[in-house]
Amino acid sequence: MPKPQEVAVLEVNGQKFEDWESVWVQQRWADSFTYFRFTAAERDPIINKRGGPFPLIAKLQFKPGVQCTIDLAGQRAVSGYIETRQVAYDANAHGVMLIGKSATAWAARSSVDTKTGNFDKKNIVQVAQEVISSYGVGLKVIGSPDMTPFDKLQNEKGELVWDFLERIARPRGVVMGSDSEGNFLLIGDHSGTVVAQLVEGQNIKSCQCVITHEHIYTEYRVDGQAPASDDNSGTAASELTGKVGGSSPVFSKLITAAEQPVKTQAEIQARAKNESVWHEGTTIQATIVVQGWLRDGSSLWRAGDDVFVYSPMAMLNNNMKIQNCTFTQDNNTGTLTTLDLVNPELLRDRANFNPG
């Protein structure tokens, strides 16, 4: 049985259920939704041996499409919807599985549908607000995203909301994300605060760490074009190039075409800088498992938080950022939290990294 302070509660229309066989909740800070999955097995005696309704199934009449909230250890972890319900039974055993996502999942997979489909001269925040306005989700801005307006911008016919926003976020150096409360995130440059320490031999239950130079280069180059005009024509408009150095010890070069027309040399240079960030930030990733759901005995671990990691065996002695946070509970492994950690710079965090 879980500790009293480590109970998962699913609530639908004022009805609460907490008698779970297994719990799995994953917050994804740089993705379009939080994901959850619960299973329950029958523990009450069958009230009708001739095939009548089982008590468990009667209790869990939660249908796909209904709104729900999930509390872990008494703290709100997800606001979303049940997407899938599975029931399996025979004469001797029966169970229910409920699968769902945070509210942003439905908006993310919907198509962009505005009156004109034209976003000329608007910045990324204005574009995002307009695109999601009809889908009932919120927008939060983290830090200071690049607010340079797009000179010319249109969505493709039928383009999905998430695909469109990610496409325009990349050249602005913005990371698209979501929280578990139903908000899209526009993540710009920010300075995170370290909320906990993960120390080998103390609170790290297990660790898997990958240090790689597979995706880094010596030079990142982005080529783009600007719309020709009376004051901007010829090669000045058609041959814009931005270059940024990388950290690869072996000479290598990545050339990327700008996703849409750019206006100035400064814009194409910023695009090259952003390309370097996406690649250089992948050099180190770690997955660390800790006991329980609370990082300090009172607060849930949260995707987007910064932590300090000290693990000589994994060559870690630096600040890292939680990209994904997975809460699990079952009879075999108990109550665990799995933290997927990355270089803070990958998620636009200026936290001091100093890989050890």
pLDDT tens for 197-222 read 999 999 999 999 999 999 999 999 99
Percent of the chain with pLDDT strictly greater than 90: 72
For residue range 69-78, what is the model confidence (pLDDT) as tens digits? Answer: 999 999 999 9
| Predicted pLDDT of residue 48 | 47
For residue range 305-340, what is the model confidence (pLDDT) as tens digits? Answer: 999 999 999 999 999 999 999 999 998 899 999 999
| Predicted pLDDT of residue 264 | 83
Percent of the chain with pLDDT strictly greater than 70: 89
pLDDT of 280 > 80? The answer is yes
Q: Look at phi and psi of residue 114 and say left if phi exceeds 0, alpha if psi is from -120 to 50, else beta.
A: beta
| Predicted pLDDT of residue 55 | 58
| Predicted pLDDT of residue 262 | 82
CB 175 within 8 A of CB 192: no
Average pLDDT of the residues of the chain = 89
| Predicted pLDDT of residue 245 | 96
CB 322 within 8 A of CB 341: yes
- Taking the chain, what is the end-to-end CA distance rounded to the nearest angstrom? 40
| Predicted pLDDT of residue 259 | 80
- Give the C-alpha separation, 210 to 307, whole Å: 17
For residue range 103-142, what is the model confidence (pLDDT) as tens digits? Answer: 999 999 999 999 888 999 999 999 999 999 999 999 999 9
pLDDT of 57 > 70? The answer is no
- Give the C-alpha separation, 356 to 160, whole Å: 41
What order of strands is seen across the sheet that includes strand 138-142? 138-142, 183-187, 175-178
| Predicted pLDDT of residue 265 | 86
